[in-house]
Amino acid sequence: MLVIKHSNLCSVSHGNPQDFPQPHRFELVFPICARYNSAFEKMGSLTIAVGSARKPKLAAVREALDQISGLLSSDAQFEIVGVEVESGVADTPSSREELMQGARQRAEALQSIANQKNEPWSYFVGLEGGLDRIEEKNHQRVFLESWAYVSNGQRGHFGCSGAVELPQVLADEVLERGTELSVAIDQFAQQTGIRDAQGAWGVLSANRITRQESFRIAVIAAFAPFYNEKLYNNAMLHNSGAR
């Protein structure tokens, strides 16, 4: 169950958020884990702002928090807020640099909103999926990747999923003919709405890896310097001492 709240709007959906009128901001409560939605627990609250209102991305952040929230804070209540923001890059990024730029700019857009509206958001999460091109033995190989950028407002870090190679015909449709990946993958798989379901990841991996799962891995990786802060700080001190 996904609960969507905005002003006087409160809809409960077992489908896609796109089925409802799209407000600017979504507040999501996932009743899978009590720490996300217990309003009666007297404990601190940490809000994770995500630069998207798409179900796979928000669910990926929720699943990532299921694994790492205890490392971020042992007693805090976590909330996830999804806000649609612009990435500032193409609908289907075509390089690793563009993917990283899009993820960072989504997080930075969230931080600007928080500053303007005095939102008490603790972390800003930007997620970007798209393509990366690599030359290998005089042949271009094209891979699908999912990237995350997480900031606490002072510093930020990137995380990435693995990569799955695209069939040449699909890569050409996107890169040479300019078809957006979400449209091309629907045509390629002869299905509709893949983007908000298993994603291109699911189609290419026979549903062994979904779009949501790829973003979950990217989010856990991007949060690593925060929940494993002691190790990262020790590494920085060791590096400073070696100079």
Q: What is the pLDDT of residue 3?
A: 30
Q: What angle do CA 60, 61, 66 make, to 5 degrees?
A: 95
Buried b or exposed e, range 160-176, using 16+ CB within 10 angstroms: bbebbebeeebbebbbe
- Give the domain ranges of the chain: 2-163+215-232
Q: What is the pLDDT of residue 215?
A: 98
Q: What is the pLDDT of residue 45?
A: 87
* Cα torsion through 97, 59, 47, 39, rounded to 10: 180
Mean pLDDT by 10 residues, the chain (243 residues): 29 36 48 33 77 96 96 91 97 97 98 97 98 95 98 97 97 96 96 94 96 98 96 77 61
Q: What is the pLDDT of residue 235?
A: 74
Q: What is the pLDDT of residue 60?
A: 97
The burial of 99, by beta-carbon neighbours within 10 Å (0-12 exposed, 13-18 middle, 19 or more buried), is given as buried
Longest dimension (CA), the chain: 61
Under CATH, which number does the domain 2-163+215-232 receive?
3.90.950.10
Q: What is the pLDDT of residue 241?
A: 62
Q: What is the pLDDT of residue 242?
A: 61
Q: What is the pLDDT of residue 9?
A: 27
Q: What is the pLDDT of residue 28?
A: 55
Q: Output the six-digit token pair for 137.
A: 């033995």
The burial of 83, by beta-carbon neighbours within 10 Å (0-12 exposed, 13-18 middle, 19 or more buried), is given as buried
Q: What is the pLDDT of residue 10?
A: 30
